[in-house]
Amino acid sequence: MIRILGLIAALLCAAPAIAQPLPANLDKANAIVIDSTKGRIVIKLRTDLAPQHAERIKQLTREGFYNNVPFHRVMDGFMAQTGDGQNFNGTGGSKYPNLKQEFSQVPFKRGIVGMARRGDSVDTANSQFFIMFADGSGLNGQYTVIGDVVSGMDVVDKLKKAPPGSAGGAVTDPDKMVKVQVASDIK
């Protein structure tokens, strides 16, 4: 009986995310759909700007690497970072080698998705990425733009944020990417 009630509750919670249509004219082969604890986020991957990085994101997505991964670093007015499917705390990457930067002239503004990297080491992007809450011109030409949010910025805005002054924007009991899929793979 408890299992049946749990299944019904899970289906009711998942129904709004499943029922949401994807944006019109979306290139589903080059988009990821993040069903998070706060709702659905759809990201158009910029294969024209960062083909290696976009391919890595799709590869990891298809492997289930991003499922149940937290938004471990969320700084109000700046960005929300996720993608550490190894350690779940922002210190890990994937089993694949780091990527060479693919910088572009696209400015970091609200809704832009960029690849995170280690400190000042340019060619160290691996699996982690961040979504901009606001303009961040200081990042322009310093990080690889891999996409932009085409649906769900209201969901990004709802993510639990680190308290002001917290070390590195670390979030206690963070929201998660429950399930991440390449849009063309959704049945």
Q: pLDDT digits over 82-115, tens only?
A: 999 999 999 999 999 999 999 999 999 999 999 9
Q: Is 52 helix (H, G, I), strand (E, B) or coil?
A: helix
Q: What domains, with CATH codes, occur in the chain? A: 2-185 (2.40.100.10)
pLDDT at 14: 46
- Give the pLDDT of residue 2: 56
- CA-to-CA distance for 106 and 53, rounded, in angstroms? 15
Residue in 41, 28, 34, 115 with CA at minimum distance from that of residue 69: 34
For the record, the structure tokens of 86 come out as 């190894």
User: Tens digits of per-residue pLDDT, 127-179?
Assistant: 999 999 999 999 999 999 999 999 999 999 999 999 988 878 899 999 999 99
Backbone dihedral region of 172: left (phi > 0), alpha (psi from -120 to 50 degrees) or beta?
beta
